[in-house]
Amino acid sequence: MGLQLPVYMDAHATTPCDPAVIDAMLPTLGRMFGNAASSHHAFGWEAEALVEQARELLAGLIGATPSEIIFTSGATESDNLAIKGVAHAYRRKGRHLITSQIEHHAVLHSFQALEREGFEVTYLPVDRSGRVDPEDLRRAIRNETILVSVMAANNEIGVIQPLAEIGAICAENGIFFHTDAVQALAHVKIDVNTSAVDLLSVSAHKMYGPKGVGALYIRRRNPRVRLEPLLSGGGHERGLRPGTLNVTGIVGLGKAAELVVAARDEESRRIARLRDRLQQRLLDQLDGVRVNGGEDHRLPNNLHVTFQGVRAEWMLKAMRNVAVSSGAACASASNEPSHVLRALGATPEDAESSLRFGLHRFTTEQEVDFAADLTVKTVQWLRQNTPDANLEYCK
């Protein structure tokens, strides 16, 4: 099969749904259509069995028990439930919360909402590579601190945080630790026990599953985490997330988790080799190129690059046959420079000249070479010419 255009390299925004995941979900759209809460007949029992199987598969991915997994509509809901749920349940114990400056907006906006309710939030800085210093966390902790939330891996620059060190500090101080693991789970092994994680957010569509479904891990012992639910309306999911379960999506999430467990290590090594190939070709053929976020602790599929003197919006319009991004998908409508790059010390001009490449399970070497060639051609053209409004020159 020849090269199929356009080439997709925006896997941090969403991943292609794996064909095996689609096959697993299809029966639930046909004869296996039951409501998992219908406990009085075979259709409901069948749907419930599918949900519980998926719960076991997802628990196995992160070293949890099935009873510690609740299903949600996605990571945004999971982040909100974890952060606001803990804050409201333990507000009598304390009103101080800690997070980092480079979190996903689902996390940052949840903390900002709590600040409007009277909570106090400390936003930890990061180093030039985007990592939190565990000692900064230790110094930020107070007697009234009840929650720390630091993402496992960043959705823009791919930096992987020192979860085990952060978790150990939280455990020493009796503070709950939440991590948004959305970007990491398809590529990095995370065990909630060895990393002392108390709450963990999952999204299916960032690990080759369907959109519109996610999960939240909630530790049940040593320590047991209590949450105040965000929604009212029934006893589903231990009373924490009411509403009819998305059986189709949950089955897809479970299958996606199973596939990750089976192939993650080998797959991550292959993707990293392709990412390194793309990076080296860009560095070899272009001047004024900087890789953001460092290279020692980075997701294998991530390449975030600043092309000095070239606006990312020009490149995106020109590179119509390669799907890449200038930042987080949820913030693509904003004209503000990336808060992640600003936290790393980037100038507004550099932040507006940066692209994110996100490789995935189905990326090929041929696609990498095509993307590299087109990127080089586009940058060279833009540096030599004033772009017009249509930017139709690079095909």
Report d(CA 19, CA 343) in Å as an integer.
38
SS3 label, residue 323: strand
- The closest alpha carbon to 71, from 210, 179, 216, 204, belongs to 216
- 17 an active-site residue? no
Dihedral angle sign, alpha carbons of residues 233, 237, 238, 240: negative
Residue type, 11: A
Which H helix or E strand runs over 180? strand 176-180
Give the residues across from 323 on adjacent strands: 8
SS3 label, residue 225: coil
17, 170, 330, 394: which one is catalytic? 330
Say how far residue 296 (Cα) sits from the centre of its chain. Answer: 19
Which H helix or E strand runs over 383? helix 365-384
Bridging pattern class, strands 176-180 and 199-203:
parallel
Report d(CA 9, CA 375) in Å as an integer.
12
What token pair was written down for 72?
């949600």
User: How many C-beta atoms lie closer than 10 Å to residue 43's C-beta?
Assistant: 15
User: How many C-beta atoms lie closer than 10 Å to residue 185's C-beta?
Assistant: 24
Residue 69 phi/psi, 5° resolution?
Answer: -110, 125
- The closest alpha carbon to 322, from 222, 263, 394, belongs to 394
Report d(CA 188, CA 226) in Å as an integer.
28
> What is the set of active-site residues?
330
